[in-house]
Amino acid sequence: MNKLEIKDLHVSIGDKEIIKGFNLTIKEGEIHAVMGPNGSGKSTLSYAIMGHPKYAITKGEILFNGQNINELAANERAKLGLFLCFQYPMEVHGVQVANFLRLASNSVQDSEEQVGEFRKRLKENMKMLNISETFSTRYLNDGFSGGEKKRGEILQMAVLKPKIAILDEADSGLDIDALKIVAEGVNNSMRSTPLGVLIITHYQRILNFIKPNFVHIVVDGKIVQSGGPELAEKLDGEGYGWTYEKEEAAV
């Protein structure tokens, strides 16, 4: 069983510590939601897991299937089966979506998939996400709306077939129709392949469509409370004020 373990993780940017003792285990088939106010370290956590060089691990470890990946480069982590859906995907003018996805897929799998087989697989995934076939010939995220960028990220996830997927505010900037399509893409991926999912979000609404097994509230770089979907509902109704009291009580 695929498993991502985060043990007593501390992460800094320059001289500032952002993650301050984070513990979490995600197994295949599980959906974990991490929620918290702005500046609590949610996105920093996602970048640290994926090996962004700007984010320095100063203590603790990240284990994937028992292997310490602290020192692995981002591409090496991707080959192991980790995937990050970016909050703000980059625009790459001159690189078509289909070419990017095929190169990424071949790189992660360390093998050369036949063009015809790849195109068939890409077409099936685009249909599942309600994406026009012309999408594949456009330049990557160039001139895309917010919804198109997020669909593109979920399409990438479907094509790469990771073992653990991290969705960093995948609901940001989406209207309800686009949100439903993105959620259905995640749910279909869960049904078609063993997948563990970490959803990072401010809002409960995406969790109406992607049902989490566990919800974790993060304040000041660490988890202050974990539970089920009822925690997200409480945040939706009461905001984050009570979570600060929880953090102070834990100190």
Give the residue, 111 or 32, on which the prediction is more confident: 32
Q: Which domains does the chain have, with CATH numbers?
A: 3-90+162-250 (3.40.50.300)
Q: Round the CA-based radius of gyration of the chain to a whole number and report it.
A: 18
Q: What is the pLDDT of residue 17?
A: 97
Write out pLDDT tens, residues 94-108.
999 999 999 999 999
Q: Per-residue pLDDT averaged across 136-155, rounded?
A: 91
Mean pLDDT of 63-82: 96
34-65 per-residue burial string, b: 16 or more CB within 10 A, e: under 16? bbbbeebbbbbbbbbbbbeeebebeebebebe
The string of pLDDT tens digits covering residues 161-204 is 999 999 998 887 788 888 888 888 888 888 877 899 999 998 88
* pLDDT range class, residue 238, cuts 50, 70, 90: confident
CB 153 within 8 A of CB 84: no
> Out of 17-31, 49-63, 76-90, which region has the weakest mean confidence (pLDDT)?
76-90
Which run of H or of E encompasses 117? helix 115-128
The long-range contacts involving 110-114, CB below 8 angstroms and separated by at least 24 positions, are 110/79
Checking if the pLDDT of 71 tops 90, the result is: yes
Q: 41 is written with which tokens?
A: 């370290």
Q: How far apart are CA 74 and CA 59, in angstroms?
A: 19
pLDDT for 244 equals 63
- The contacts of residue 197 (CB under 8 Å, 6+ apart) are 26, 30, 31, 32, 164, 165, 166, 167, 186, 190, 210
- Rounded to whole angstroms, the Cα distance separating 140 from 213 reads 33
